[in-house]
């Protein structure tokens, strides 16, 4: 969605000063915007009873951002051991961390159990027997199959590799009970970047119904339901934002009805990433070339290593050219320097006529931007900056260097001799 007026008012007048100091390209995030969204989420869903947001670390795995989230009382959803380690490094412990992995190894389970453990969210019934030591509290990721639809990003539930099936879910909890678990939670994740709030309300209703079924069949109560992430942001200017207030009201009513009917209500958890930080980050890059052939190409000093969503998904990211005075518009492809024809930030987009040296601001890169970067073609990921509430700008991740790229090629010789 368009950069917020508040962030724009603080960033754009300082862009030349910031780029002169730090160079380009860079992702820059808005502390004020992130905190505002966090407080809105807490206020909206706090009405449902006990509530906690578990920030999806995969969206923006930077310690400075995680510290910001932790200061607001949020936990962390981690899907790998490095993400788990990041959460622990900034001070999160125990049930502040939910480890929601898939295709999980024995080594991963052992590390997850160390240093105070975490909430273990199992993705597969076969993993119950493989957990080295069954924790007191266990959670399962429920996949309802064709009982629900997914969306275009995450796919149909019956085709997804994630979760315990409807037919397996009761037995999964029974097996966990038999191994010593006596506290339980229930999780699902069915959509990504969903703008229809009713879908998320339906997800909460589905989990509450499953809570009731599990209680009837196994005499266990869920301490919490986790409706997952997937809250969307409107990337295109014409898209309507998610109606968070309506979603909060309707889920709160569901929780209250459940408590009235059954005498208790589980806590409500969610694991938003994109919704928390996506609109509050931009990629700032500079025009370095123009090319006129069958189309006009504007080349910039960043590429898919900084933001791969447009090339990978055909995703739209709105682009502005602050500081460009030329009112003449042109239709261009905005491209990076990767040897792939999908290395494009805009395809036949309308922008003011651009010249070498002009700055472009590519919006909504605060989630799954830097985090999805890669090193194909030897391209390097850019630096990350954080604009604080007082207007100061801090480097929170340096740019990768060629030395970083070659680091794994420096090692001691190690050869397995040919066998006989």
Extract the tokens encoding 328: 């003449």
pLDDT tens digit sequence for 201-236:
999 999 999 999 999 999 999 999 999 999 999 999
Looking at residue 2, what is its pLDDT? 73
Instruction: Residue 323: name the closest of 6, 16, 9, 7 by CA.
Output: 16
**What average pLDDT does range 8-14 have in this prediction?**
97
CB hemisphere CA count around 163 (13 angstroms): 21
Tens digits of residue pLDDT in 156-171: 776 677 889 999 999 9
What's residue 361's pLDDT? 98
Whether residue 155 has pLDDT greater than 70? no
pLDDT given at position 326: 82
Cα–Cα distance for residue pair 125/112, rounded to 1 Å:
18
Alpha helix positions (H), 263-359: 274-277, 309-313
- If you search the block for the tokens 């099936």, which residue do you land on? 165
C-alpha dist (Å) from residue 147 to 108, 142, 144:
31, 12, 6
In order of 86, 306, 337, 380, 399, the CA distances from 374 in angstroms are 19, 8, 14, 7, 13
Of the pLDDT bands very low, low, confident and very high (cuts 50, 70, 90), residue 43 is: very high
Looking at the predicted structure, is the pLDDT value of residue 153 above 80? no
Tokens at 409, concatenated: 């090629």
**Structural domains for the chain:** 61-272 (3.20.20.10), 279-397 (2.40.37.10)
Q: Taking CA 313 as the corner, what is the angle to CA 311 and CA 316, rounded to the nearest 5 degrees?
A: 80
183 neighbors 144 (Cβ within 8 angstroms): no
Nearest-angstrom CA–CA distance, 307 and 210: 39
Residue 48 vs residue 415, higher pLDDT: 415
Distance CA 78, CA 420 (A): 46
Rounded distance between C-alpha atoms, residue 55 and residue 18, angstroms: 28
Beta strand 344-352 with 359-363: parallel, antiparallel or unpaired? unpaired
Length of the chain: 420
pLDDT in tens, 333-351: 999 999 999 999 999 999 9
Tens of pLDDT, residue by residue over 90-135, are: 999 999 999 998 999 999 999 999 999 999 999 999 999 999 999 9
Mean pLDDT of the chain: 95
- Whether the per-residue pLDDT at 194 is higher than 70: the answer is yes
**How far apart (Å, rounded) are the C-alpha atoms in residues 394 and 309?**
25
């Amino acid at each position: 969605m368009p950069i917020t007026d508040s962030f724009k008012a603080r960033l754009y007048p300082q862009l030349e000063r910031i780029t002169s100091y730090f160079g380009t390209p860079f992702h820059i995030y808005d502390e004020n915007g992130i905190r505002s969204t966090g407080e809105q989420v807490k206020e909206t869903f706090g009405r449902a009873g006990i509530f906690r947001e578990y920030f999806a670390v995969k969206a923006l795995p930077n310690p400075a951002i995680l510290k910001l989230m932790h200061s607001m009382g949020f936990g962390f959803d981690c899907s790998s051991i490095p993400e788990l380690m990041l959460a622990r490094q900034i001070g999160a412990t125990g049930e502040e961390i939910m480890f929601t992995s898939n295709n999980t190894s024995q080594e991963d389970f052992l590390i997850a159990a160390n240093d105070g453990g975490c909430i273990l969210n199992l993705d597969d019934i076969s993993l119950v027997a493989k957990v080295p030591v069954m924790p007191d509290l266990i959670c399962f990721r429920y996949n309802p199959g064709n009982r629900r639809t997914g969306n275009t990003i995450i796919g149909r539930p019956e085709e997804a590799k994630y979760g315990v099936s409807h037919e397996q879910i009761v037995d999964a909890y029974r097996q966990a009970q038999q191994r010593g678990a006596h506290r339980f939670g229930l999780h699902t994740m069915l959509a990504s970047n969903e703008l229809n709030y009713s879908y998320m309300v339906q997800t909460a209703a589905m989990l509450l119904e499953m809570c009731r079924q599990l209680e009837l069949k196994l005499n266990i109560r869920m301490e919490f339901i986790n409706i997952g992430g997937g809250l969307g942001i409107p990337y295109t200017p014409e898209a309507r934002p998610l109606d968070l207030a309506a979603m909060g009201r309707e889920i709160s009513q569901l929780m209250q009805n459940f408590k009235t009917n059954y005498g208790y209500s589980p806590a409500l958890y969610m694991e938003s990433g994109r919704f928390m930080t996506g609109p509050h980050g931009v990629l700032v890059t500079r025009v370095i070339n123009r090319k006129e052939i069958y189309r006009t190409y504007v080349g910039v000093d960043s590429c898919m290593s900084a933001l791969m969503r447009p090339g990978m998904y055909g995703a739209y990211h709105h682009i502005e050219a602050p500081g460009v005075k030329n009112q003449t518009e042109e239709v261009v492809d905005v491209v990076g320097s990767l040897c792939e024809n999908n290395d494009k930030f805009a395809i036949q987009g309308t922008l003011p006529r651009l010249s070498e040296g002009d700055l472009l601001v590519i919006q909504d890169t605060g989630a799954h931007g830097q985090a999805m970067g890669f090193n194909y073609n030897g391209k390097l990921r850019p630096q990350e900056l954080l604009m604080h509430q007082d207007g100061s700008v801090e480097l929170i991740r340096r740019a990768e260097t060629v030395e970083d790229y070659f680091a794994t090629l420096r090692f001691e010789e190690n050869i397995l001799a040919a066998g006989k």
